[in-house]
Amino acid sequence: MSMISLVLTALADDRPGLVSQLADVIAAHEGNWIESSMSRLAGEFAGIVRVEVPENRIEALEAALGALAPHGITTTLRRSGAAHETHGQAARMTVMCQDHPGIVHAVSAVLAAKGVSITSLETEIYAGSMSGERMFRAAVDMVLPVDLAASDLSAALENLAGDLMAEVDFTDIG
């Protein structure tokens, strides 16, 4: 039987046992949990999981996931876009500055303009150690398009750092 790659998202009020509930449903439909990213944000559970499931079990899996809604778990299920994966040079960037609106907008606009694909984005606000002011930190993993030199992106990020009054560290990990 052909295995199909699916991406599952789940949202719920955070509570013990949520991951177990999802894993039970996936296992009951002969699914294989491949990779995932899950977080608790403001009391909410948010998860994204890539699973492989036999093609003849997809509809039953969708129905079983839908049956979690009365228990406060909202899910979506999509076929994986593996055919559209970006190939190129891997890089990592961190951004640190005083918090203000528009930081993610500015960073993502520069990356999009250069054709960069974000593979992971983690952000947080924290209290500065000396002043106690709100500080912003982002960690971005990305894939540069094959025709973009790391030095070109680095120059664009240096300009961005000046505009945001931020410390931007760019590391070519390709």
We report the CATH number of the domain holding residue 13 as: 3.30.70.260
Other Cβ atoms closer than 10 A to 127? 10
pLDDT of residue 145: 94
The answer on 94 and 77 residing in a single domain is no
The answer on 94 and 75 residing in a single domain is no
Q: Does residue 133 surpass a pLDDT of 70? A: yes
Q: Does residue 85 surpass a pLDDT of 60? A: no
Q: How confident is the model at residue 129 (pLDDT cuts 50, 70, 90)?
A: confident
DSSP character for 109?
A: H
Tokens of 103: 């930081």
pLDDT of residue 125: 94
Q: Does residue 156 surpass a pLDDT of 60? A: yes
Residue type (1 letter), 135? M
Q: What's the rounded mean pLDDT across residues 31-36? A: 95
The answer on 92 and 117 residing in a single domain is yes
Q: How confident is the model at residue 62 (pLDDT cuts 50, 70, 90)?
A: very high
Name which residue leads in pLDDT, 174 or 112.
112
Q: Does residue 84 surpass a pLDDT of 60? A: no
Average model confidence (pLDDT) for the chain? 92
For the full predicted model, state whether its pTM sits above 0.85: no
DSSP result, 35-63: EEEEEEETTEEEEEEEEEEEGGGHHHHHH
The answer on 64 and 112 residing in a single domain is no
Q: How confident is the model at residue 126 (pLDDT cuts 50, 70, 90)?
A: very high
The answer on 165 and 118 residing in a single domain is yes
pLDDT of residue 139: 96
Q: What is the residue range of 76's domain?
A: 3-83
Domain count, the chain: 2
* CB contact at 8 A, 168 and 111: no
The answer on 167 and 94 residing in a single domain is yes
